[in-house]
Structure 1
Amino acid sequence: MLTRRALLLLAASLLPILRSHGEDVIPISDMRAAYLYNFVVFTEWPDNGRDTLNICLLPGQATLVNVRLLASKQINGRTLRIIEPMQRDTDECQLLYIGKATDSGTRQMLTRLAGSPVLIVGEGSQSQAMIQMNVENKRLSFNVDLVQSRRANLTISSKLLRLAKTVRKEDDGT
């Protein structure tokens, strides 16, 4: 499919470390890292005056993302930093990757974050995620919820939206 091919090319150009290592298939953890990187590149946050962009991973989620590919990258003059927030304190996060976490602590944290300028990325059917990644046939795709991202005062580039499988643009009451 054209959109998957385009995203793969974009990810490969932005993360030269992402090589197939002699294989035809890029590991899903590498692809997640590339997607998270691109989500940061193609999202605008309100100015917070910081010189870092923080990707936060919930405890235990670091094995799902190849964080080595993300550490210390520069985006628009800001250093990308990977952190695991202590006791789910997300004050330092610009992007929060929640994977498939569905425990009550995660749900409470997401409720607390509603309207905050934190790009929430989940996997599967995370109802409060602004971007939902899905693994289908060893391939990664994503859906974007513009309604929730607008509520959080985040702007997602049309370049990224064109690559999404689906984009929710209007509030349907859910």
Structure 2
Amino acid sequence: MVTATRHTARLARPRAPGAWWHNGWNAGWLALACILSPASHAQAPVQGGALKAAYIYNIALFTTWPGSAAPDRPFAVCARPAHALWDSLRKLEGKPVNGRPWTLYDAASAPKVCDITVLAVEVAPSRAPEPVATLYVVDGNAAGKYAGAVTLVDEEEHVRFDIDTREAARMGLKFSSRLLRLARNVL
């Protein structure tokens, strides 16, 4: 009888208002769902680089890099200063990604390995790069160009994204199943 009373008391204990929000996983998932969900697409027209940078950041939160990714160095994001997303990517400086601070580098003088490389479709190579633990995000798509593991697409005045799981696996990366459900296309 005492055990049943304890169990009932434990179940009946009220939670503090908003207590679920303090769980980092729930907060992160809610932020990702709000930004990437189809409902938000229907109401949020393309707002330039800020929205695409937010997509890239949230995609990073739901991507797993191989164990060899150095936890003691900054989370290296590489792009060209001439890229339309540069200023928006710069505004994310210091935000945590898997406990590491987001740090933007000029791709021309970047560290040996970037965690994310953001390419404009105009400068994307025609062939896939050598496999390294880098998430390649290509802004735009064009026939005959490397599309990366993630391709950002402007469609009907909204930002969408496609995911190539084979390319991600070739680079040693894995995407959350929740992220895959939000993609426009998954290969």
Task: State whether residues 46 and 158 of structure 2, in contact with CA within 8 Å, keep that contact through their aligned partners in structure 1.
Answer: no
List gaps (5 residues or longer) in structure 2.
Answer: 1-30, 37-43
CA offsets, 1:69-119, max 9 Å, x none?
A: 3111012211011111226x56231111102223xxx527x64x3311111
CA offsets, 1:120-172, max 9 Å, x none?
A: 1112234341111101122100110001110111011111101001100xxxx
Report what 1:107 is aligned to. Answer: 125
Task: State whether residues 79 and 105 of structure 2, in contact with CA within 8 Å, keep that contact through their aligned partners in structure 1.
Answer: yes
Q: How many pairs does the alignment contain?
A: 146
Report what 1:33 is aligned to. Answer: 53
1:137 partner letter: E
Q: Which has the higher helix share?
A: 2
Report the structure number with the largest CA radius of gyration. 2
Q: Normalization by structure 2: what TM-score?
A: 0.67
Distance 1:163 1:142 in 2: 8
List gaps (5 residues or longer) in structure 1.
Answer: 1-5, 12-23, 169-174
Shift of the alpha carbon at 1:51?
A: 3.0
Distance 1:166 1:25 in 2: 19
CA offsets, 1:38-83, max 9 Å, x none?
A: 1110111113223311111124115466124311101221101111
Which of 139, 152, 160 aligns to 2:158? It is 139
Report what 2:135 is aligned to. Answer: 119
Give the match's secondary structure for 1:162.
helix
